[in-house]
């Protein structure tokens, strides 16, 4: 009987793995260095590690992983050579875009747009046009499509993006152009905007489709290598999944020509999903701020009322990505972030990272530039002899030498001050990011709990919470592998949408129901092709709505609305929109027409979830004692003499005051003076400010 489930998170420094035995509800954690040149190598080595430990490959029932392969490909601009087909006369859309600038670039006189994904020589204008209602007003020039496909393929193009006006109302021109390209270049990838993002507004749709085309060959090749590797290891299960940006997983076999762009936040989303399921839903921690500090970055997200905050459109590296995703902010603040001195003699940290190869200096793999991890080793926050549970010994002397040579000596300070300064900068950067993101969302941090995970999260958590005025920190079980654990708490999720602008007062309820029914039919067909059971699907409906004349929409959930839709249901939806508009903007315009812009459907195939066992309660005989003491430099001139515990020894109900250090295989938690920590029966560490 198949009994094992594996979740794997591929990070910049380490690849984290969790194996769950469903027979006895136990779990095992394994960490190994990532392999940036080919991330699949570390994943397959990790699976091989479990097999070598006595796990029969045929007993592995479920395999899921999160990856940064598409994100890194985009940031490094190493995607496919793409060709773009546009309507005749519409080439300017690629240059004009939305005319918007992100963040502070609004005031930057030297602002430069991101490098185009397709060079002008690979863009072709094609005659043919649909009007705003989807009616054909000019036939598609099939000869022009054929000529463009032949010429671009001969010029090395391997992936095409087809972006025609109003294709979300009528996709026949795009689908016919795609068919022609596949006839001429059957090995090429073809991404149609009407499939990738069938929604109103040209540039977000075009940008998202071009991103999909740019990355699809890379993800397809990666998933193919992964599948073949699992086959060679004897892993026979067909339940092989990849995390998406929306917190759901999709099969490795999913259509890359449609779904690739949905993996751009694959890695960070897994940890947020784990927090929302294990902590918010299962344990009742409703309002959380997640802080995932890995080797290269810190990812920040918010959970409100038990659900992660989502966005329907975001940006990555200055490019619009118009697909649903968790609202995650990323800061260049990881354990591998490199410390350096500027020309003016100031201490800087990041954004460059030592990554997995060569890694921090203390790893002894050839690194020469000091990192945040080196600073944490020097200040006593990390135990050089118990890194990864003692599997790796860290070189304290090498870290100290590098910090002295690169930071302390040039700045004229001692090496301890240099180490504390590095950590102080990283903490301040994270604090600023959390404050800004909370302000954007109208979130009061005082009522939230900070949840640190990632290998470096618990080391910094209490100091970050102090600066934010937060009084509680929750360190989950296996924080260093928490994102991998989140993969075992995720369902298959596919998002569908259809734009159709209409006044809700004139909308035929039967037509609206037909629109949702067509999206549900599309979902059933897709999951059937993926080998999943269409009858297990659960649907969540939403509408994008606005007041007539507005340039933006609000997503309105239809949860609890009568099905099938009728006139009374539409009235209730309109009222729900007025209420939501008031909640967000402080007012409603009830005398103004309300428009439905798009129909949205989330189709969910429920998957089995990890249900961790409760930790044993405390007793007089089992009350754990600290086994050591260690001095930690919290800041310049502020040292703490901390008692050291092993987390595996802590029983449910155990309480102690800081200063303390709790060590475990995948992370170290620092409890400063003025804080108290408790181990609960869900195997969480709860840190609370008492002074």
Task: Give the other-Cβ count within 10 Å of 500's Cβ.
Answer: 19
Q: For residue 104, what pLDDT is reported?
A: 57
Per-residue pLDDT reduced to its tens digit, 525-560: 999 998 899 999 999 999 999 999 898 899 999 999
Looking at residue 1, its pLDDT comes to 47
pLDDT tens-digit readout, 84-120: 999 999 999 998 888 777 655 677 777 788 889 999 9
- 598-630 pLDDT, tens digit per residue, is 999 999 999 988 888 787 776 656 667 788 899
What tokens appear for 482 in the block?
A: 């928490």
Closest by CA to 10, choosing from 159, 180, 223, is: 223
Give the model's pLDDT for residue 318. Answer: 83
253, 531 in Cβ contact below 8 A?
yes
Rounded to whole angstroms, the Cα distance separating 61 from 71 reads 28
In order of start, what are the domains of the chain with their CATH numbers?
Answer: 4-73+223-247 (3.30.420.40), 74-219 (3.40.50), 492-605 (3.30.1490), 628-689 (no CATH)
Residue corresponding to tokens 């909308």: 507
Given a contact cutoff of 8 angstroms between Cβ atoms, the answer to whether 408 and 276 are in contact is no
Percent pLDDT > 90 in the chain is: 75
| Average pLDDT for 446-462 | 95
Q: Are 500 and 596 in contact (CB under 8 A)?
A: yes
Has residue 212 got a pLDDT over 50? Answer: yes
d(CA 545, CA 581): 10
In the structure, what pLDDT confidence band is assigned to residue 295 with cuts at 50, 70 and 90? confident
Determine contact, residues 575/505, Cβ cutoff 8 Å.
no
Q: At residue 12, does pLDDT exceed 80?
A: no
The arithmetic mean of pLDDT across residues 630-634, rounded, is 90
Cα–Cα distance, 562 to 595 (Å, whole number): 20
pLDDT at 391 over 90: no
Q: Please state whether beta strands 538-547 and 492-503 pair in parallel, antiparallel, or not at all (unpaired).
A: unpaired
466: left (phi > 0), else alpha (psi -120 to 50), else beta?
Answer: alpha
Per-residue pLDDT, 105: 65
Distances 31 to 388, 495, 668 between C-alpha atoms, Å: 8, 32, 15
Q: How many C-alpha atoms does 315 have within 13 Å on its Cβ side?
A: 10
Residue 36: pLDDT band by 50, 70, 90 thresholds? confident
Evaluate if residue 191 carries a pLDDT over 60.
yes
Percentage of the chain exceeding pLDDT 70: 98
Predicted confidence at residue 180, as pLDDT, reads 98
**91 CB-contact burial (10 Å; exposed 0-12 / middle 13-18 / buried 19+):** middle
The mean-pLDDT minimum among 171-185, 612-626, 672-686 falls in: 612-626
Average pLDDT, the chain: 92
Instruction: Report the DSSP beta bridge partners of residue 87.
Output: 126
Cα dihedral sign, 376-377-383-385? positive
Judge contact between 663 and 455, C-beta under 8 A: no
Report the alpha-carbon distance of residue 617 to residue 691 in Å, rounded.
27
Question: pLDDT tens, 298-352?
Answer: 999 999 999 999 999 888 888 999 999 999 998 889 999 999 999 888 999 988 8
- 557 DSSP β-pair partners: 542
């Amino acid at each position: 009987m198949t009994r094992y489930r594996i979740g794997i998170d591929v990070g910049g420094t380490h690849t984290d793995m969790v194996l769950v035995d469903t027979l006895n509800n136990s779990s095992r954690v394994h960490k190994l260095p990532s392999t940036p040149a080919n991330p699949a190598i570390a994943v397959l080595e990790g699976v091989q590690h479990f097999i070598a430990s006595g796990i029969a490959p045929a007993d592995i029932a479920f395999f899921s992983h999160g990856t940064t392969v598409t994100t890194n490909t985009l940031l490094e601009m190493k995607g496919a050579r793409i060709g773009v087909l546009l309507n005749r006369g519409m080439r300017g859309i690629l240059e004009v875009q939305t005319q918007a600038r992100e963040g502070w670039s609004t005031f930057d006189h030297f602002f430069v747009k991101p490098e185009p994904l397709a060079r002008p020589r690979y863009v072709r204008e094609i005659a043919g046009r649909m009007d705003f209602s989807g009616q054909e007003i000019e036939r598609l020039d099939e000869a022009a499509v054929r000529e463009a496909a032949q010429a671009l393929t001969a010029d090395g193009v391997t992936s095409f993006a087809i972006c025609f006006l109003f294709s979300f109302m009528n996709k026949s021109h795009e689908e016919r152009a795609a068919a022609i390209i596949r006839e001429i270049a059957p090995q090429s990838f073809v991404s149609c905007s009407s499939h990738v993002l069938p929604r109103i507004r040209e540039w977000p749709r075009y940008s998202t489709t071009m991103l999909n085309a740019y990355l699809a060959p890379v993800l397809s090749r990666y998933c193919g290598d992964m599948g073949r590797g699992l086959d060679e290891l004897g892993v026979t299960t067909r339940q092989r999944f990849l995390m998406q940006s929306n917190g759901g997983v999709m099969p490795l076999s999913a259509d890359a020509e449609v779904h690739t762009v949905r993996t751009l936040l694959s890695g960070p989303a897994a940890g947020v999903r784990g927090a929302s399921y294990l902590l918010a839903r299962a344990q009742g921690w409703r309002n959380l701020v997640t802080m995932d500090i890995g080797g290269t970055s810190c990812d920040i997200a918010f959970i409100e009322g038990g659900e992660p905050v989502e966005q329907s459109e975001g940006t990555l590296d200055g490019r619009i990505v118009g697909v649903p995703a968790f609202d995650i902010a990323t800061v260049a603040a990881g354990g591998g972030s490199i410390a350096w001195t500027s020309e003016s003699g100031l201490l800087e940290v990041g954004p460059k990272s030592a990554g997995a190869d060569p890694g921090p200096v203390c790893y002894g793999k050839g690194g020469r530039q000091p990192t945040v991890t080196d600073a944490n080793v020097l200040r006593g926050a990390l135990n050089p002899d118990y890194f990864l549970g003692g599997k790796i010994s860290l070189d304290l002397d090498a870290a100290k030498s590098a910090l002295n040579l690169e930071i302390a000596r040039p700045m004229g300070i001692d090496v301890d001050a240099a180490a504390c300064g590095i950590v102080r900068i990283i903490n301040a950067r994270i604090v600023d990011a959390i404050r800004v993101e909370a302000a954007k969302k109208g979130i009061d941090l005082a009522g939230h709990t900070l949840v640190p995970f990632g290998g470096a999260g618990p080391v910094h958590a209490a100091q970050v919470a102090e600066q934010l005025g937060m009084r509680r920190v929750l360190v989950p079980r296996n924080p260093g592998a928490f994102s991998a654990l989140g993969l075992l708490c995720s369902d298959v999720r596919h998002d569908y949408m259809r734009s159709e602008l209409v006044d809700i007062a004139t909308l035929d309820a039967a037509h609206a129901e037909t629109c949702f029914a067509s999206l549900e039919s599309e979902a059933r067909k897709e999951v059937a092709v993926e080998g999943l059971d269409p009858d297990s699907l659960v649907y969540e409906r939403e509408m994008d709505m606005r007041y007539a004349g507005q340039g933006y929409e609000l997503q309105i959930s239809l949860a609890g609305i009568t099905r099938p839709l009728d006139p009374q249901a539409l009235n209730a939806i309109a009222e729900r929109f007025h209420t939501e508009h008031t909640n967000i903007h402080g007012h409603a315009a009830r005398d103004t027409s309300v428009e439905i812009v798009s129909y949205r459907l989330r189709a969910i195939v429920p998957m089995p979830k990890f249900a961790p066992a409760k930790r044993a309660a405390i007793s007089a005989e089992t009350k754990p004692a600290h086994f050591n003491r260690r001095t930690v430099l919290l800041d310049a001139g502020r040292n703490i003499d901390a008692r050291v515990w092993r987390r595996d020894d802590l029983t449910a109900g155990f309480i102690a005051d800081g200063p303390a250090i709790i060590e475990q295989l995948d992370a170290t938690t620092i409890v400063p003076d003025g804080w108290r920590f408790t181990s609960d029966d869900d195997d969480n560490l709860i840190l609370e400010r008492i002074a």
